[in-house]
Structure 1
Amino acid sequence: MAGERLKTVRSRWRNHWRQMLGVAVLTTTLAAAWHQLDVRLGGFLEEAERSTYDTVVTRFTQRPEVSSQVVLVAIDQLSLKDIRANAQYALNFGNWPYSRNLWARVVEQLEAEGARAIVLDAVMDERGTDESMDLAFAQVLQATATPFFLGVSTHANAPRLPPADFSAPPPTEAPAADVLDAPRPSTAEETFPEEAGSETFMEEASEGVLPSVTPEQVARALAFPVRTDGRALPALDYETSSGERLPSHPVQPIPVLVDAVDGFGLVEPEADADGFMRRTRFVYSDGANAFATLPVRVAAGLLGASAIELSGRTLRLGSRAYAVDADGSAGIDFGGQLHDRFTSVPLISVLDAWVKRSQGQPTGLPPDVFRGKVVVIGGNAVGLNDVKATSFSSHEPGVVKQAAVLDTLLGSGRFITRAPLWASLALVFGVAFASAVLLMTTRWTPLEIAWPLGLYAGMSWVTGPILGLTNTYVLTALPALAGVLASVSAVAFNHLVANEEAAFIRQAFSRFMEPKLVEQMIAQRELPRLDGENVEITAFFSDIRGFSSFSERFKDDPRKLVRLLNTYLTRVSAALLKEGGCLDKYIGDAVVCLFGAPMRQADHALRGCRGALAAKAAVDRLREEFRAQGLPDMYTRIGVNTAVNFVGNFGSEQLFSYTAIGDGMNLAARLEGANKAYGSVIMIGPRTYELAREHIEVRELDRVRVAGKTEAVTVYELLALKGGLEARKRETVERYHAALALYRAARFEEAAAVLDARRVEDPEDGPTQALLERCQRYAKAPPPGFDGVANLDK
C-alpha cells in the first residue's frame, strides 16, 4: 500500500511540478511585495512579525547564567520605604527624588567596593533646591577614580547645541573647575542616629559663585565622535499626535556636572510601535552632533574608544567589533527577565553599607558583589513609573535595556541581527514550494486543513534554532504567511484537478457503470488511478456458445443479427450494472466486466457471482423470447475469476480505455471457454469461491492446470445463491463430488458407475456427462502419470 502511495506521489510530481514551482514563485513574489509595503506602512504583517519575534526570542535565547559584567543597584520599593522611614536619611536626603548628596554617598561606597564603573540610568538636568548639594556631588565625582556615567534625555524645546569640535584640546581654564577644586566651609552636615554609631559626617560643600559652562563645552561633553561609511544617522525626533515628526535635542545637564561626569549618553526609550523594547540604535544625530546611547558611551569609555565606527554591518568600539544590521541598529539580547540575568542589590543596602564603613563596621554586602563590575543604578519601584515591555515580560524596569545592551557590549558581543532579506525570501520560497509539493502530491484533506494551521505555530521551530546558534533572526511570520498562501493555492489547484478528474470520470464511466455508482464514487473521492494500480478485482467474461452458427442463420439479414445481438448485450449489461459492475468492453458477442474497480467494493467477488447468475437468468428469459419468435437458441457461457490485476487507462494516444490486465484476467477468459469441456454454464476460480463461499452454492468441477502455468487450481461451477439450489440438483452435485473423489484416486470404473447411475435421474447435467465420458475413456486406457489434474488448453 505504501508503495502504491509513493507511486501516486511520484506521478503527481511528474505531471504537475511546473505548477508547484509556479505557485512557489508567485507566492514568494507576493510575499516580498507585501513585506516591502508593510514595512513602510506598519500593517498586519509587521505586527505578526513582532509577535513571532517575541516567541522565537523567548524560546531560543533565554540563558540561565547571570551576567558577569553588570550588577544592578535597584531603587526598589524597599529602598524608598526604608529611606522614608529612617528619620536621619529623610532629613539628609529628603524624599524621592533625593538630594544629590545621597548619590555622592553611593558613588563613594561603590568605589570602595571596587566597582569598574558606575552608570546612573537617570538624568540630572534640573538644579537642586540646595545647590550646594549639586556642588558637593560634583566634588565627589571629581575626586573619585571610578568612571561615572549619566543619562541625557531629549526634548523638542531643548536648545540646539553648536557642533562639537573634537579636534581642539579640551579647555584648560574652566571656571567650574576652579570653584569645585577650592574647599569651602561646610554649609551642611549629615548626622546619623545613635544606633548607627552617633558619628557626625561633614559635607565639604562649596559656597560662592556657581560654575557656568559654555554651549561649546556642553556640546563637547554630550556629543561623541562618530565615523560612518556615508550612511545617515537616525535623527533625534518625535512624532506628534497628528503624525508629524519634529526634531528634538539633548536636554543639557546642570552645569556643575558637565566636567565632573566621565560621559553622558542618551536614555531614549527606543520602543516599537506596540510599546515593546526589542531593538536599539547606538548613536543618534540632531543634525549638528552625534550622540551615543548611554550603554555605548559607557562601553566606549571603558574600552578606550576615541570614536564610534559604523561601517556596513559592523559597529566598532576601540578594538572590539559587533555585528549589527545594515541600518546600524540591532536586536537587544536580553537573555531572559531582569531578575534572572542580573544580580541586583537594593539601594538601601548600599547606603547602609556606606554608613557602616564610615563607622568601621562590616558593610553587610555580599563579598565582591561589585568588584570589577559595571554597576548600573536604576529604578524598579512601581511608583517610579519606569516600567517597560520586552519580549520576555510586559512589566520590566526600564533599566533592563541599559543593562542588557551594556552586558552585550562588554561581554558576549553578540546582538540579535536580522538575516539578509534574500535569506528570508529563500526560506519563504522553500516553505511555499514545500507546501505546494506536499499538498498537491498527497491531496489528503486532513493535511490540507492541518498544514496551514501548523505552519504559523511551527515556523518558529525552523527559525528558532538558527537564532539560538547564530543570533540571527530570519523572518518567521512572512514564510508562514507565504506557506499559507501557497497551501490555499495548492488546495484550490487540487479542487480544480479533482473537478476535472470528476468530469472525466463521469464522462468515461457513465456508459459502463450505473450513474448513481459513478456519482457515489466521485462523492466519496474514490476516483480511480487512471495511470494504473494493482487492485484485487473480480473479472467477468461471457460468450455466446456457437455464435458463428447462430449468425450464419442471418447472413441474408445482418441488420436483424445486429438488433438481436444488441438486445442480448443490453440484457446482460443491465444485469451486471445492477450488481455494481463496470463494463470493460464488448468483443463481438463477448462481454467483459469488472467488479471492485474503479470503485472499491469489499464484496466484489460476491457481486461478480450475483452478476453472473443475473446474466444467466436474463439470457434464459431471452432464450424463451427467441424460441417464441421462432429464432435460434442462444446459450451463454460465463467465466468469473478474482485476482490482483493492474487496472487503469490503456491504449494509444488515439484511443485508450479503462481496463485491467494480468494473469487473473487471462484465467477468467480461460474459465469461460472451459465451460465447453465441462458442460457447465458459469465457472469460477478458487479466489472467487474463497471470498464468496458463505453466500453461494457451487460444484467443485476439477483441478486444472492453465497453459503456461505449473500450479494447478481448483475450479467450481456456480449454481445459485446460498439456499437457492433445488433438491434434485443438490443430489446430482453430491453424486458428482463422490465420483470426483474416485476419479482422483484413479478408480475410473467405480467413478463411471456412480455417474452413470445419476445420469438417468438428471440427464441434462453437463458436468456429469463430461466426467462420465472421461472416466470411461481412462478406464479403457489410463493416462500415464495421472495426478488428477486436467490441462486447461488455450
Structure 2
Amino acid sequence: MQNAVVLALITAGIALLLALSPVGRAMEEEFGLAWLFKLRGPVPPPADVALVTLDRQSARRLSLPPQVRLWPRALRARMIDDLKRRGATAIAIDLTLETPTDIIQDGALSRSIAAARSVILVEAMEREELVVTDAEGRPAGQMAILKSVPPIEPFAKAAAALAPFPLPKVAARTNEFWAFKEGDRLTLPAAALQVHAAAVHPAWLGRLREADVPGLETLPPDNDLLNEPGAVQRASQAVRRAFLQAPGLAARLPPPAGRLGDRERRLMEAIDRLHQGPQHYYLNFYGPPGTVTTIPFADLIEDRDVPDLMGRTVFIGVAERTPTNLDTFYTVFSTSDGIDISGVEIAATAFGNLLEDTTLKSPGRPAELGLVVGFGVAIGLLAYLLPAMLAVVATVLLAACWIAASAILFGQSQLWLPVAVPMLVQVPVALFGGLLWQYLSANRERRNVAQAIRYYLPERVAADLAHRPINPGGARDLFYGACVASDAERFTTLAETMTPRDLATLLDSYFAAVFEPIQAGGGTVTDVVGDGVMSVWTAANPEREPRLRAALAALDLARAVERFNRQNPGRTMPTRVGLHAGWIMVGNVGGKGHFAWSVVGDIPNTASRIEGLNKHLGTRLLASDSVVGDLGGEILTRRVGRFRLMGKTGALDIHELVARREEATPAQLRLVSSFGDALEACESGRLPEAVGLFRQVLEEFPDDGPARFHLNRCMNLSVEKSAEDDAAIVRLEVK
C-alpha cells in the first residue's frame, strides 16, 4: 500500500508542477480546449447579435471595387440608416476610418452615424517604435508601443463610442479577448454591449450614483450617455475604476428597480458583470466560421429578405470565407482547408459571451489544482493496486469518465476543467509507473524469498496414505495417481569397476538419498529395478494435491542426489526423473503364490519414457503437462516442447521442473522467458527467427540442453523440411 501511495503522489506531483507552469496552461489551451470544443460541437449563437459582412460577392453584385476601403462611404451611410430602421440597438463597425475621402461621402456617413446615436467605431491599433535615450541624450535602445488611432474627427464626434479591438495576428490560436484595454477603456465588443444596454442606462447610473461612485459627475445630467461624444467610455471607466478600487462596492449597490422587465434586468446584470469582471476572457466560440447570423452587405443594400434585426446588435466588417482573407484568426474551429474566423465574427462572439455570461470559466486555481491532484492520486492507486489488465481497464474507464464529465460541464456551464494534463501526462505516467513498479516489486519479493530460504528449511508437505488389508490376487484398486520414475546414469560403468559388496553399499547410500524425499513427500516406492526407482502418489479422484506433492518431491530428490554425489566424488550417479499422471491400478501383481505390490497401467510406462527423454534434452527433471499444467503458482516450469515418444501414438506437452516458485532465481526466470519465446517461434514455423532466439539463449546459458536440442532441430528443418515434418511436434524413434 505504501508503494501505491508513493506512486499516486508522484503522479499527482508531476501534474501539479506542470499545471503551475506556463507549459501546463499552454497544453490546456492547445489541446484540452480543442478537445472540449470538438466534443461539445457547434451551439446556437444568441439571438441578440448579427453580422453584416463586406465581402467580394457583395462587391461583384454591387459593381464595387474588391477593396472595401474604396467603397463609397455613402453606401455605408445607407447601411447604417437601414439597420437603424430595422430596429438594431447598436451598430459596431470593425472598419478603420482614420483617413478622409470625398467630403460629400464623409458628410453623408457622419450624418448617418450621428442620427443613429448607436454606432460604435473601432480605433485602429498601430505599433510605434520609439528611440530611448540616456541621460546625455544619446540613443540607448528602442521601445515599441501600441497606439490607438481614432477615426477622423467628424466620425469620432458623431459616434456613440470609440473602442479598440486588439487581437493577436500570430500563428498561435486565438483563445481570448479583452473587455478592457489601455487604461480600462472598453473594447469594441464591450462598448457594443454598453450601447446595446442604452435602455437601462438611467436606472444603471441611478444605482451607481446612489452608491456614491466617483467620476459620474461629468456625465450628462439626463443620464443619456449616447447624447454626448465620449460619455459611454467615460462612464464605463469611472465605474470600472470604482469597482477595482473598492471591492465591496458591488455589495453596496441597491438592487435593480422592480419595474424593470426581464430583458432590462438581463441587460443590467450584463453590464454589472462587465465592469466587475476581469480584463480579459476566454472565448466561447459557437461554431465554425459563419455560425453567427450573417447578412451579406449586398442583401441589405438591395433590400432583400434579411433576418429580423429588431433589438439586435449588428457587427459590420470584412468577412471572407476564403484562405486568402487577411482579417481572419486561427481558432479551435478553423477548418482543415484553411478557413479561419474573421475578426468581426470574433467581436460578435465576444459580445454574445458578455451578454449571456457564457465566456469560458475556470473553477479557480485552487480547485483546478485540487482536481488535478485528486485525479493523479486516484489513477496512481488504481495503476499500482490492481493487476495489470484490470489496472489498464480501470485507468481507461476513469479517464473516460473524466473526459465525459469535463465535456458535460463545458457544454452546460462553460466550465473549463483541465483535460490535457490528465490525459497526456497523468494517465501515461500512472500506467507506466504502476505496471513497472508492480513488475519490480514482484521481482524484489522473489529475490527476498529466495534469500530467506537460504536460512530456513522449506516447509514439508505431509499426507497420510489410506491403509487397508490387501487380498493377494484381488487387492487391486483404481486410483488417480502421479508416477515418478528415476534412473541413475553411469550405473553400468560403476558396476564394472566395483566389487559387488562395494556396489551394494553405494546403492544403499544412493537409495537412502532417493527414498527420503519420496517418503517425506507422502509418496510410496513401488518398484526398484537395478538403479531405477518408481514411486507413486495417489488419490481417489483427480486432484491437484498428489501431483503437487510428486513434483515437489522430484525437486527434493534432485537435491538429495546432488548431495549424494558431492559426498561420493569419483562414484557419482547423476539421476534423471520423469513424471506423468492419470488413472492407475495399484495392487498385487503376480501369480502362483508370488505377488509384487506394484502400479500397473500406461501412466508408469509413460513416466519411464519421459525419464528417458532427459538423455536427448540434457535435462534432469521432466514432467508431462498432466502433472504440472496448473502448478505454476508453486513451481517454476519450462515447457520444452511437444513430443511423441517412442511406442506412443499421441503427443505430450513436456515441461522441465526448474525450481520451487519461491526459490526461483532471476537467471532461471530469464531462461524460462527467453526459451519460451524461442520455442513459440519454432512451433509456429518461424524457423529463422527461432534459430536466432535459441542462439541468444545459448549466449547467456551455454550449457542449456533444450536450447541446443531445438537449435539443431530448427536448423535441420530449415534445410531438409519435408511434407511430413511438423515443427510443433518432436517425434522420437529411440528411448
TM-score normalised by the shorter chain: which range applies? 0.5 to 0.7
Check the 8 A contact 1:314/1:324 in 2, yes or no.
no
Q: Secondary structure at the match of 1:497?
A: helix
Match of 1:261 among 139, 143, 159: 159
The equivalent residue for 2:348 is 403
The equivalent residue for 2:311 is 372
Q: Distance in 2 between matches of 1:700 and 1:343?
A: 101
Letter in 2 for 1:347: F
Q: CA deviation digits over 1:272-321, x for unaligned, max 9?
A: x7522212221112xxx432110101111222363253657999985434
Alpha-carbon offset, residue 70 of structure 1: 0.8
Check the 8 A contact 1:155/1:249 in 2, yes or no.
yes
Letter in 2 for 1:486: A
Q: Distance in 1 between matches of 2:12 and 2:82?
A: 60
Matched, 1:413 2:357: yes
Alpha-carbon offset, residue 404 of structure 1: 0.9
* 1:697–1:643 distance in 2 versus 1, CA, 3 Å: closer
Q: CA deviation digits over 1:426-458, x for unaligned, max 9?
A: 2222222222222212231x4666777888787
The equivalent residue for 2:300 is 350
Matched, 1:46 2:22: no
* 1:270–1:245 distance in 2 versus 1, CA, 3 Å: farther
Matched, 1:100 2:73: yes
Check the 8 A contact 1:543/1:637 in 2, yes or no.
no
Matched, 1:389 2:330: yes
Q: Distance in 1 between matches of 2:249 and 2:361?
A: 11
1:121-520 equivalences under 5 Å are 121-128=94-101, 130-145=102-117, 147-157=118-128, 246-270=144-168, 274-285=171-182, 289-303=183-197, 304=201, 306-307=235-236, 309=240, 318-320=268-270, 321-322=272-273, 328-340=279-291, 342-353=292-303, 364-366=304-306, 369-381=308-320, 382=322, 384-394=325-335, 395-410=340-355, 412-444=356-388, 446=389, 459-480=402-423, 481-504=425-448, 506=450
Q: Distance in 2 between matches of 1:83 and 1:718?
A: 113
Alpha-carbon offset, residue 66 of structure 1: 4.5
Letter in 1 for 2:176: R
Q: Distance in 1 between matches of 2:171 and 2:445?
A: 50
The equivalent residue for 1:72 is 51
* 1:291–1:497 distance in 2 versus 1, CA, 3 Å: same
Letter in 2 for 1:376: F
The equivalent residue for 1:616 is 526
Check the 8 A contact 2:128/2:146 in 1, yes or no.
yes
Match of 1:113 among 63, 76, 86: 86
Q: Distance in 1 between matches of 2:430 and 2:248?
A: 33
- Pick the structure with greater CA Rg: 1
Q: CA deviation digits over 1:479-511, x for unaligned, max 9?
A: 231333233332332122111123245557899
Q: CA deviation digits over 1:247-291, x for unaligned, max 9?
A: 2121121111111011122121146x7522212221112xxx432
The equivalent residue for 1:788 is none
Match of 1:591 among 520, 532, 536: 520
Which residues of structure 2 form unaligned runs of 5+?
Answer: 131-140, 205-234, 254-266, 469-505, 553-579, 590-596, 606-735
Q: Distance in 2 between matches of 1:450 and 1:489?
A: 15
The equivalent residue for 2:687 is none
The equivalent residue for 2:232 is none
The percentage of aligned residue pairs carrying the same residue is: 17
Q: Distance in 2 between matches of 1:621 and 1:47?
A: 78
TM-score by length of 2: 0.53
* 1:512–1:565 distance in 2 versus 1, CA, 3 Å: farther
TM-score by length of 1: 0.50
Q: CA deviation digits over 1:391-434, x for unaligned, max 9?
A: 12242222221111111223x22210122222222222222222
Matched, 1:21 2:1: no
Alpha-carbon offset, residue 542 of structure 1: 6.8
Q: Distance in 2 between matches of 1:384 and 1:639?
A: 89
Q: Secondary structure at the match of 2:526?
A: helix
Letter in 2 for 1:46: A
Check the 8 A contact 1:379/1:397 in 2, yes or no.
yes
* 1:566–1:457 distance in 2 versus 1, CA, 3 Å: farther
Check the 8 A contact 1:118/1:377 in 2, yes or no.
yes
Q: Distance in 2 between matches of 1:120 and 1:573?
A: 102
Q: Secondary structure at the match of 2:75?
A: helix
Letter in 1 for 2:122: G
The equivalent residue for 1:734 is none
Q: Distance in 2 between matches of 1:414 and 1:465?
A: 15
Q: Secondary structure at the match of 2:379?
A: helix
Q: Distance in 2 between matches of 1:95 and 1:637?
A: 101
Letter in 2 for 1:420: G
Check the 8 A contact 1:124/1:253 in 2, yes or no.
yes
Alpha-carbon offset, residue 143 of structure 1: 2.4
Q: Distance in 2 between matches of 1:428 and 1:644?
A: 52
Residues matched between the structures, number: 457
The equivalent residue for 2:471 is none
Q: Secondary structure at the match of 2:410?
A: helix
Q: CA deviation digits over 1:596-628, x for unaligned, max 9?
A: xxxxxxxxxxxxxxxx57x4335x65799xxxx
Alpha-carbon offset, residue 323 of structure 1: 8.7
* 1:66–1:252 distance in 2 versus 1, CA, 3 Å: closer
Q: CA deviation digits over 1:17-66, x for unaligned, max 9?
A: x33223222332332223333x1xxx476235421111112312632x34
CA RMSD of aligned residues (A): 4.8
* 1:636–1:302 distance in 2 versus 1, CA, 3 Å: closer
Alpha-carbon offset, residue 374 of structure 1: 1.2
* 1:314–1:387 distance in 2 versus 1, CA, 3 Å: farther
Alpha-carbon offset, residue 335 of structure 1: 2.2
Q: Distance in 1 between matches of 2:94 and 2:119?
A: 11
